[in-house]
Amino acid sequence: MVDLIKRSVKNFNFFNIILIVVIFVSFSSGLYVFWKYWDNFNLYGLSSSTEAWGQFGDYIGGLLNPILSFFSIVLLCVTLNASFRLGARQTFESILFELIRLHRENLFSLEVRYEDEKKVGRECFLEYLDEISFRYKLLTDDTRSENERLVHACEDFFNEIKNKSGLGHYYRNLYLIYKHIDESFSIKQSEKIKYAKIVRAQISSLETDILMLNCITEKGASFCKYIERYSLLQEIGLENLIRVGVSENTLLSLYSKKAYHDN
């Protein structure tokens, strides 16, 4: 019974409230009009004249019709607004799921080629991580801080790979997905978080690792706000990231705590 009441309250939307207000005001206005008329003319009793009853009908209609017309307009506006919001939500979801479909296509189009083998899709991300590790350990100045060396290695890697792989396109589309969710006016903030989690569930741990490293570069910096707003680093694989050669403390200091846990 309690659950039923909670569901009923949850489904009790603005349209229901307006409808109840219209019924209440119309009913109470009608009673008031009848009472006012009777209070003033009851001494004369009930008339048997059709002309008098016609005048009485004009009196009732003249008072109630403007009120009912006003609330009819209000209900029409509410209905149009609800229809608009429903259409906007359907458009939002249509675009979102099309972007998710493109995301999957981009993922499985990734490849890393060697002389004797080829890595495809999610297999590529471990290769990307190893490449960043190589650059961090051998191609950066070890007199600098871990943070500076990691940023340098990532900048070097992503600037080089953008012309050799679809990885740049993969992350640009992922960025567009979260931008689409975040900027939508047709859904509430709680619903934005729900949709963000749906997308997050499509991303593997290794993909999240490379996303984390991509967004510390200059070109990936615009993605940072979505990483922290929607806690996109919940699924990072620290055991894989530490292979790069960077300490866990340095890795976790790259973003605020809300990036790693749901708010």
In tens, the pLDDT along 98-154 reads: 999 999 998 988 888 887 888 888 888 988 999 999 999 888 888 889 999 999 999
Question: Residue 60 pLDDT more than 80?
Answer: no
Same structural domain for residues 252 and 211? Answer: yes
Which residue type does 166 have?
G
Q: Is 52 within a domain?
A: yes
Query: How is residue 232 written in tokens?
Result: 């996109």
Say how many domains are in the chain.
Answer: 2
Question: Residue 1 pLDDT more than 50?
Answer: no
Same structural domain for residues 150 and 75? Answer: no
Cα–Cα distance measured from residue 240 to residue 165, given in angstroms and rounded to the nearest whole number: 22
| Percent of the chain residues topping a pLDDT of 90 | 26
Residue with tokens 């009851």: 42
Question: Residue 195 pLDDT more than 90?
Answer: yes
Same structural domain for residues 251 and 131? Answer: yes
Residue 51 structural domain: 2-86
Question: Which is more confidently placed, 245 or 5?
Answer: 245
Same structural domain for residues 82 and 126? Answer: no
Cα–Cα distance measured from residue 200 to residue 62, given in angstroms and rounded to the nearest whole number: 60
Query: How is residue 31 written in tokens?
Result: 């009673």
Query: How is residue 46 written in tokens?
Result: 């009930």
Question: Residue 41 pLDDT more than 70?
Answer: no
Q: Which pLDDT belongs to residue 212?
A: 92
Cα–Cα distance measured from residue 31 to residue 19, given in angstroms and rounded to the nearest whole number: 18
Cα–Cα distance measured from residue 68 to residue 250, given in angstroms and rounded to the nearest whole number: 67
Cα–Cα distance measured from residue 184 to residue 180, given in angstroms and rounded to the nearest whole number: 6
Beta strand extents in the chain (DSSP E only) = 111-113, 118-120
Cα–Cα distance measured from residue 24 to residue 177, given in angstroms and rounded to the nearest whole number: 45
Q: Is 95 within a domain?
A: no
Q: Which pLDDT belongs to residue 228?
A: 92
What is the DSSP pairing of strand 118-120 with strand 111-113? antiparallel
Q: Which pLDDT belongs to residue 174?
A: 93
Same structural domain for residues 79 and 205? Answer: no
In terms of Cβ atoms closer than 10 Å to its own Cβ (0-12, 13-18, 19+), residue 1 is exposed
Distances (CA, A) of 133 to 100, 148, 192: 30, 14, 35
Same structural domain for residues 59 and 154? Answer: no
Question: Which is more confidently placed, 96 or 73?
Answer: 96
* Most confident option among 16-25, 173-182, 245-254: 173-182
Cβ count within 10 A of residue 245: 18
Give per-residue pLDDT as tens, 140-190.
Answer: 888 889 999 999 999 999 888 754 567 888 889 999 999 999 999 888 898
pTM for the model: 0.71
Same structural domain for residues 132 and 244? Answer: yes
Q: Is 91 within a domain?
A: no
Same structural domain for residues 81 and 18? Answer: yes
- By mean pLDDT, which of 51-55, 74-78, 118-122, 200-204 is the weakest? 51-55
Same structural domain for residues 139 and 235? Answer: yes
Q: Which of 180, 157, 160, 165 is nearest to 230 (CA)?
A: 180
Same structural domain for residues 18 and 128? Answer: no
The per-residue pLDDT of the chain, averaged, comes to: 81
